């Protein structure tokens, strides 16, 4: 008789080795290229932009455009943008650096739950893949896995596509672990408190407070909202709760949407157009935060801290402040820990 890898049960000598009894926590963020070169960017963009949840156009229309135009030109442009924010010391994107750190720190703060809780991380697009990390957790004996899509506000193009990929991976498993998916937490009290604290901490460093603060969320096409996607409503509620927490009105804290792609109309008001408009109207000091992003990445560091700042200054603005994402700071880790402990109830 052989001792199983977990527990006190024994198995016959000819039984395949098994490991079970542990609980896994898998943090999943959007994704990152492996490098800034053409082929690394092309592989990443091809995977991302081939997702039917991201681009809902007819495949007959979209795929020729993707492979004939987009993937021949966009890798160079995106690669140049990534180079501006690349973590050269570790040769990786900031998103990968921060997500790994979040996983490591979450492991530390959950240490009181014992060795049977294993924390890992993955990317929906790029590496490490969701399938590879689910396999790794299962190999370590995790027969229950909490999947945490790192998106406070639900959208089919973010949360749902993580769920799709998780269950595609399960299709290939004979012995599937039990899966829980973390629900949206756009109105979670700890999340709102942490956002408010991060805003106050950053503004306390400034000599003069901004006249306007923008909460810039990643946009989605208006057609996705029209079909029933709750994302816009979740973003609005997050912003309203932040206003209430800070004691601000809708003139002081305004909501905008960024990162448009393609010819469709997207959720408005647009961040870049709002920044330009405020500067032209004589507003001299603004700050921008990205509540929908759990970690700083291309869309926050290059598009907001870089491009939006340039737009503001080019049209007469004087002080542009980018408020960092919660990242792996104490406020950010408090949110992740709170959500994970809540969702593990009954398993631990």
Coil, helix or strand for 326?
coil
- What is the secondary structure of 19-81 as a DSSP string? ---EEEEEEEEEEE-S-SSHHHHHHHHHHHHT-TTT--S-HHHHHHHIIIIIHHHHHHHHHHH
Residue 61 phi, psi (nearest 5): -85, -45
The reply, when asked if residue 315 is annotated as ligand binding, is no
Q: Cα–Cα distance between 246 and 256 in angstroms, integer?
A: 18
Report the distance separating Cα 218 and Cα 271, nearest Å. Answer: 9
- Contact by Cβ (8 Å): 302, 334: no
The candidate with the shortest Cα–Cα distance to 173, out of 142, 128, 127, is 142
Q: What is the DSSP letter of 329?
A: S
CB distance 4 to 18 below 8 Å: yes
- Angle (CA) 315 318 198, round 5°: 115
Q: In the chain, what's the furthest Cα-to-Cα distance?
A: 80
115 has binding-site annotation: no
Peptide bond into 120 cis (omega under 30): no
Is residue 221 helix, strand or coil?
Answer: strand
Binding residues: 218, 299
Binding residues for Fe(2+): 218, 299
């Amino acid at each position: 008789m052989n001792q199983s890898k977990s527990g006190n049960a024994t198995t016959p000598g000819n039984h395949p080795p098994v490991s079970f009894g542990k609980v896994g926590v898998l943090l999943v963020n959007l994704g990152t290229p492996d490098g800034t070169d053409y082929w690394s960017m092309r592989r990443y963009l091809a995977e991302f932009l081939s997702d039917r949840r991201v681009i809902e156009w007819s495949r007959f229309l979209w795929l020729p455009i993707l492979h004939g135009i987009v993937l021949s030109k966009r890798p160079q442009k995106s690669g140049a943008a990534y180079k501006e924010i690349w973590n050269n010391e570790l040769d990786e994107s900031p998103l990968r650096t921060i997500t790994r750190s979040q996983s490591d720190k979450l492991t530390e703060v959950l240490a009181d739950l014992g060795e049977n809780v294993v924390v890992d991380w993955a990317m929906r697009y790029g590496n490490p893949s969701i399938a590879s990390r689910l396999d790794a957790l299962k190999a370590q004996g995790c027969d229950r896995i909490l999947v945490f899509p790192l998106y406070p506000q639900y959208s089919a193009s973010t949360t749902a596509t993580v769920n799709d990929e998780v269950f595609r991976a399960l299709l290939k498993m004979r012995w599937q672990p039990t899966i829980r998916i973390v629900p949206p937490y756009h109105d979670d009290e700890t999340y709102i408190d942490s956002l408010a604290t991060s805003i106050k901490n950053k503004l306390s460093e400034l000599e003069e407070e901004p006249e306007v603060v923008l909460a810039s969320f990643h946009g989605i096409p208006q057609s996705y909202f029209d079909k029933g996607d709750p994302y816009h409503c979740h973003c609005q509620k997050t912003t309203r709760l932040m206003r209430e927490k800070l004691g601000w009105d809708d003139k002081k804290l305004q909501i905008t949407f960024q990162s448009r792609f393609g010819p469709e109309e997207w959720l408005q008001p647009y961040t870049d157009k709002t920044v330009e408009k405020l500067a032209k109207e004589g507003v001299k000091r603004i700050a921008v935060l990205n509540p929908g992003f759990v970690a700083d990445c291309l869309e926050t560091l290059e598009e907001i801290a870089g491009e939006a700042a340039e737009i503001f200054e080019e049209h007469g603005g004087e002080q542009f402040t980018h408020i960092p994402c919660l990242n792996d700071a104490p406020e950010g880790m408090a949110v992740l820990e709170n959500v994970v402990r809540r969702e593990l109830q009954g398993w631990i």
